[in-house]
Structure 1
Amino acid sequence: MRLLITSPTAIVVDDSDVVSVRAEDASGGFGILRGHADLLTALSVSIVAWQAASGHTRYCAVRRGVLSVTGGNEVGIATAEAVPGDDLGQLEQIVLDEFRRRTEAERASRVQGAQLQMKAIRQIVQYLRPDPNHLREGGA
């Protein structure tokens, strides 16, 4: 089975000798073996693990992403950011600290942007809405 993990700027992992893949989405962890049904799911901030035919287990921290299984023998992951490695403990720290911090910062930035947009809309509506007192004074 082939595993391909890509970020916007690089092919992070391209391993064609994979026996199994473990990943995590919103419903929890799951595994993929050769012959798996086609699948498309959104990954959470997590660590993807896979075992090569040699028995060696490798890991890759992903900052969310989309996982697809095609034809039962190709697993593709497109992610915003990925860090491969052999040290699970080190990758867990990356996921827990750095990736989650960045994800929360992006979320806070989106909220702040939405708040600014709403403030601008309120000011425009207030400017365009006529003052009811002004209409009464005009001799209505």
Structure 2
Amino acid sequence: MQLKVLLPSGVFFDKDDVERIVAETSKGSFGILPHRRDCVAALAPGILTYQESNSAPAYLAVDKGVLVKTGAKVLVSVRRAVQGSDLGQLHDAVKRQFLALNEQERKVREALMKMESTFAGRLAGFSHER
């Protein structure tokens, strides 16, 4: 199977010789083999496991998103993803990357709140001038 992982910024991951995939949904995990019926699934944040021919399982930490299987192609579209060779290394990488993003998102929210309050104050002042 071909496994392709897309992020908003572009293609994150693309492998052509994948034998099996295990993905996480809100209802639990499920496996995909080459001859499984086509399907669509809403992914929960978690670990996506895949195995290429004659190799050990490999892991991707993914944020919530969508998985679409059509024929021999599996397309995963998520907001964020991190690749790792073992689960311990992946856990550390996810922790560093996602915590940094959460801090950045917090700063953006604070800036937006300041802009909104400034706008509301100026709008209120404008209506009193009339």
For this structure pair, what is the TM-score category when the shorter chain's length is used for normalisation? Answer: 0.7 to 0.9
Alignment map for 1:68-87 (pairs within 5 Å): 68-87=67-86
The Cα of 1:56 is off from its aligned counterpart by: 2.0
Gaps of 5+ in 1: 132-140
Q: 1:134 corresponds to which residue?
A: none
CA contact (8 A) 1:50 1:59 kept: yes
Matches within 5 A, 1:19-34: 19-25=19-25, 27=26, 29-34=28-33
Distance change >3 Å, CA 109–CA 41, structure 1 → 2: farther
Amino acid corresponding to residue 37 of structure 1 in structure 2: D
What is the total number of aligned residue pairs between the two structures? 127
How far off its partner does 1:124 sit?
1.7
* TM-score normalized by the length of structure 2: 0.73
Give how far 1:33 is off.
1.2
Larger Rg: 1
Tell me what 2:38 maps to.
37
In the TM superposition, 1:53-92 aligns within 5 A as: 53-54=53-54, 56-62=56-62, 64=63, 66-92=65-91
What amino acid does structure 2 have at the position aligned with 1:48? L
Residue deviations 1:18-57 (CA, integer Å, cap 9, x gap): 23222335x264223132432153552x332112242520
Partner of 1:106: 104
Q: 1:61, 1:94 within 8 Å by CA — same for their partners in 2? A: no
Normalising by structure 1, we get a TM-score of 0.68
CA distance in structure 1 between the aligned counterparts of 2:116 and 2:58, rounded to whole angstroms: 46
1:78 shift after superposition: 3.5
- Contact 1:47/1:92 (8 A) holds in 2: no
- Output one character per residue of 1:78-111: Cα deviation in whole Å (capped at 9) or x when no partner: 445544232221011111x213202312331332
RMSD: 2.9
Contact 1:47 1:61 in 2 (8 A): yes
Runs of 4+ in 1 over 3 A off after TM superposition: 78-83
Instruction: State the one-letter code of the partner of 1:4.
Output: K
**Identical residues among aligned pairs (%):** 21
